[in-house]
Structure 1
């Protein structure tokens, strides 16, 4: 039996949601958000020290640039933090995970299905293995090093990522506010970094299941997890980290339908991206650490616009509502080499 709550599924033959609602609610670990943020802050300082000693090493790429990750540390670097594990097929929600009901999941599920339908109708690009995906964003992040969340200015962020289906020793490059960082193989990838969550190539994304239930099972099995974050939140954020990738329309459609099945996902009527563009919002609150992550979509064509992450309760780092990080997606396309801009654009 699949023990993951699935109350948003419209199929009458799927009784997993009903069974889940009959079970006792999972225990709430009630981990203070300041402890969660403190551990992440310590981790990023550790990463910064490692990079100063060995500048060729790069953190994994799958996470967006956030409050805890200056340009050279794109991700939480799962390989260096204790307590992160791959869930290898165990799909039971972790303690403290949300248990959404049909009532609170229905509006978000309906919106995500509309977003899915729009994504599935978009044209599929032709992608060569010698090309690079190119993403341009405006981002804003909070610095926690002082013990308070100090939100920095809005700045440019560009990422070029190799589409080579084989493991690569040079993944691409980042340019953030004019500063360039070359992305080498991840720590331990002596033969090169393969495609995957840490390097989501178009071909790898094409290989993911397009059945939403199968895709969600895959995400629950393969998403990295820590004890200080709800497991459902980890999967929700993993999906969010893929939304600005160049991907097959059918994969994008499946991701949104899979997201609709994650417990605790809701609509966010006041959602806006880093540029203040308001749109249709999808959100999830991680009650373990008191943080809400919102995705923002264009109100007419349902295109992904960006995201924001904020505190949901007062902490030593800031009051409820304090911005932790946000982005506004401006471009997601393909180019022929790292550092190149799309046709007709200047750096």
Structure 2
């Protein structure tokens, strides 16, 4: 056999070997894919955690705060390395606000000074609400609708305020909420939160200020609003609230239209929560009255004869159970003059997040007013 034949046989053998190895690798890859598919088929489907929209955005906000703080720390470290001290002189990253309606509740009942006292409450047992249509005799209505009718009447008294574009709606609250990122509800301590919501018309990149635990930070536009957040459900200025329908049926239709659908909560509960995010501060009396009559039309709304807010103040409550998530939300009102005291949400049954009774969120309204300058409390504003 000559050298050419030897080389040819060697080449054929090598090609055959490479082809065999390639074929074996291909077969092994197919078997591996088949094994993965078989294992995936045998495993149970992953659990789907139903997280309410409000809680979902709350945890996103907490994440963005941590990112901002980490960026500030890295910037300060870099500046010190370069021989500068921008941490003292330069602007610090602003906190992103994902849901101003929750963290900055700029809307609510009419001012406490215009609410009357001595309103007689019904004492019937809890029952689902039916439609409240104007000024009806409370005895002809279901308990929740009758109570909401009385709350609406109290909230609607008085004249609308004249709020200038350069003013701010101030709210001071005590707040407590649950962190669900670990898969279990971890309830925070009670925090004092103050907020100043800008009333400037048109899209705004700076929506005001918020102060918590002694730290004051700007409230930025909503995530994704690169040109600024306009007046609307996520920046409920006094002017925008004044533009809402005061007919309860028309208002409820608008509320359903402006509340996005979500797999995380019942549709009716999402609208109930939307109204809850609007109440608790300064708002036009006629709008407040219409909001409560609209709430009476939401299925599943009930009355609680006794309830307490976060500070322990006792009153009556309007409640709704979100059976999809297993949580009850309550709006608590003073039993005498029906002013809004606060709200709370807690599990009414055992869930993956905790036992029945576990707190999900709570807020108690301490003060609200119209002020001329952000960062200044009402008393300081009146003294100047």
TM-score band by shorter chain is 0.7 to 0.9
Partner of 2:285: 249
Distance across 1 between alignment mates of 2:101 and 2:305: 25
Give the equivalent residue in structure 2 for 1:60: 98
Pairs within 5 Å for 1:15-164: 35-37=49-51, 46-51=60-65, 52=67, 55-56=93-94, 58-65=96-103, 102=130, 106-164=142-200
Residue 16 (structure 2) aligns with: none
Instruction: Report SS of the residue matched to 1:262.
Output: coil
Shift of 1:44: 5.2
The question of 1:190 aligning with 2:226 is answered yes
Does the 8 A contact of 1:34 with 1:317 survive in 2?
A: no
Two-structure CA RMSD over aligned residues (Å): 2.7
Matched, 1:174 2:210: yes
> What does 1:265-284 align with in structure 2 at a 5 Å threshold?
265-284=301-320
- Equivalent residue for 1:301, pick from 323, 331, 337: 337
Normalized against structure 2, the TM-score is what? 0.67
Q: Which runs of 5+ in 2 are unaligned?
A: 1-46, 72-92, 106-126, 132-140
The count of residues paired between Structure 1 and Structure 2 equals 282
Q: Are 1:186 and 1:192, in contact at CA under 8 Å, matched by a contact in 2? A: yes
* Aligned partners of 1:57 and 1:185 also within 8 Å: no
Give yes or no for contact 1:62–1:241 (8 Å, CA) kept in 2: no
* Cα offset, 1:34, TM superposition: 8.2
TM-score normalised by structure 1 residue count: 0.74
CA separation of 1:324 and 1:44: change in aligned 2, threshold 3 A: closer
- CA offsets, 1:266-302, max 9 Å, x none? 0022321110111110000011110110000111111
Matches for 1:169-248 after TM superposition, within 5 Å: 169-248=205-284
Provide, for residues 70-117 of structure 1, a one-character-per-residue CA deviation record: whole Å limited to 9, x for no partner: xxxx79xxxxxxxxxxxxxxxxxxxxxxx95759x8110000000000
Could you give the per-residue CA deviations for residues 196-239 of structure 1, whole angstroms, max 9, x where no partner exists?
11111000000000000000000011112211211000110100
User: What is the rounded CA distance, in whole Å, between the counterparts of 2:375 and 2:321 in structure 1?
Assistant: 36
- Equivalent position SS for 2:305: coil
Deviation at 1:189, TM superposition (A): 2.2
Whether the aligned pair in 1 keeps the contact of 2:209 and 2:375 (CA below 8 Å) is yes
Residue 160 (structure 1) shift: 0.7
Mapped partners of 2:265, 2:283: distance in 1? 27
Offset of residue 194 of structure 1: 0.7
Does the aligned pair in 1 maintain the 2:129–2:145 contact within 8 Å? no
Q: Quick one: structure 1 residues 63 and 312, their matched pair in 2 at CA, closer, same or farther if it must change by over 3 Å? A: farther
Query: Aligned with 2:282: secondary structure?
Result: coil
Unpaired segments ≥5 residues, structure 1: 1-32, 66-73, 76-98
Choose which of 214, 239, 259 in structure 1 pairs with 2:295.
259
Change (3 A) 1:264 1:138: same
Q: Is the 8 A contact 1:171 1:184 kept in 2?
A: yes
Shift of 1:318: 1.4
On the 8 A contact 1:108/1:266 being kept in 2, the answer is yes
CA distance in 2, matches of 1:101, 1:244: 22
